[in-house]
Structure 1
Amino acid sequence: MISRFHFPDRLPAGGEVVLPEALAHHALRVLRLREGEALTLFDGAGGEAAARLVVRGKTAVAVLGERSAADRESPLQVVLVQALAAGDKMDWIVQKAVELGVAAIQPVQAERSVLRLGGERADKRVAHWQQVAVSACEQCGRNRIPEVRPVQALGHWLASQRDARNYLLAPGGASGFADALRPPTGVHLLVGPEGGWSEAELATADAAGCQRVSLGPRVLRTETAGLAALAVVQARWGDF
């Protein structure tokens, strides 16, 4: 398999580009690519370019070949609204959601979230999750990088949403996705933290017009529920 790398600037139509230090280190020292090996670069704007690796002293260069406007994005715009989860669960969620075709990820602070983030610490974690999304795109072939948005309180986020259908995952929900109608625009999937949504949060979500949905009779973990729901809506209305 040819290695894919995200190039941080706009790729020209031809010629060559100098690989940034971190990218060159990963290609040469981690993956141990050799002079003349093929690679693929993408810049996040929807296209990718075949390239050949050239090493000139301490500088790594990619000689660009044909550019392809390969669009591997789902026609269904899905935003995963994920309550903060502890440990490395958020890394896993971001990685797998990108592979499944999510359009964006919105972390929210919930009442029962074990992980509490704010200020500079929140900014650093979001930047880390954004890099996880970049790496997932490199692996899965996507040429557009989903945005990991700044952390918000659930109530603040709900107050700003009027442009998509909001499905709140809740055990014991009145219905499942089998009964849901195709959304006219995008879909927001709201996933609670390890301890679940509080009664106050459920009431706020209901008042904001969220539809409660169930993923069957079993209670899924926070790192499982959103990914399962994402796969379901992709199969029903997306590109699965």
Structure 2
Amino acid sequence: MRHHAVYAGPNGISEPLTEIAGPEAEHAAKVKRARVGDPVDLFDGAGAIAHATLTEVRKNRLVARIESNRRLAPIAPAIEVASATPKGPRLEKMLDMLSQAGAASWRAINTRHGVVDPGEGKRDRAERIAVESLKQCGRAHVMRIDDKQDFADALVSEADTRLVIADATGGQYVPTGAQRVRLLVGPEGGWHEAELAAAKQAGAAVVSLGPYALRIETAAVVGVGVILNAEQANR
């Protein structure tokens, strides 16, 4: 018996029966070969995870009977990743890995040495990747894809947000108990000296992620892991 994971969408889980229609249902029926009686985990992407049993499976419609339902709080701290954009399929891989690592959100930033523009047309694809990753890794909250920003705008943050910029000149990450951390990751050409100076002026902590030169996607994922591990160990 197969065990399936299905995205119900915001407020998409209802008791005792939940109906899923459209592409998500079609994918489960055609690609995953879901059948009546199969167990399924339903995710709404906003904290709810329900364990259910499929009672109806059609080409583009599923019905599931809810067996149990729970709501989880978001992981703390919420880590917002703002990075230069990797080339080609590396962007998709980065988004998948960031979601698995526990990032709360990702956005592209324009930097002086950046060479790739993700384009507005890729946002839908990025959001689909975030949903697929949620189902694969079992996280309760879907990673948010935010609008692209200029570097200077990414330095403007709320009072409860800690700014961190990844750079080889920095030191180890020191946890502070922040509720939100914005991690800035530069292009493979490195930060322009004016960008690094502006980040320091804005109060950003400069953090090294190891002794070697990292690709954008590697630095972003390692950074999320380092911050989450340090902050959670300190709580």
TM-score scaled by length of structure 1: 0.87
Q: Output one character per residue of 1:153-197: Cα deviation in whole Å (capped at 9) or x when no partner.
A: 111221355431111111122x112xx242433211111112111
Q: Output one character per residue of 1:77-103: Cα deviation in whole Å (capped at 9) or x when no partner.
A: 111111122112221121111111111
Matches within 5 A, 1:1-240: 2-10=3-11, 11-17=13-19, 19-55=20-56, 58-71=59-72, 73-117=74-118, 121-122=119-120, 124-173=121-170, 175-177=171-173, 180-238=174-232
How much has 1:29 moved relative to structure 2? 1.3
* CA distance in 1 between partners of 2:162 and 2:10 (Å): 34
CA change 1:7–1:197 in 2 (3 A) is same
How much has 1:213 moved relative to structure 2? 1.2
CA change 1:115–1:73 in 2 (3 A) is same
- Give, as a single letter, the amino acid of the residue that structure 2 aligns with 1:15: L
Contiguous gaps of at least 5 residues in structure 1: none
Contact 1:81 1:190 in 2 (8 A): yes
How much has 1:107 moved relative to structure 2? 1.7
The farther-off stretch of 140-149 and 69-78 is 69-78
SS of the equivalent of 1:107 reads strand
* CA distance in 2 between partners of 1:44 and 1:215 (Å): 30
Q: Output one character per residue of 1:49-97: Cα deviation in whole Å (capped at 9) or x when no partner.
A: 2222344664532222223214274222111111122112221121111
Q: How many residues align?
A: 232
TM-score scaled by length of structure 2: 0.89
What percentage of aligned pairs have identical amino acids?
Answer: 28
* CA distance in 1 between partners of 2:57 and 2:79 (Å): 43
- Deviation beyond 6 Å, 4+ runs, structure 1: none
Contiguous gaps of at least 5 residues in structure 2: none
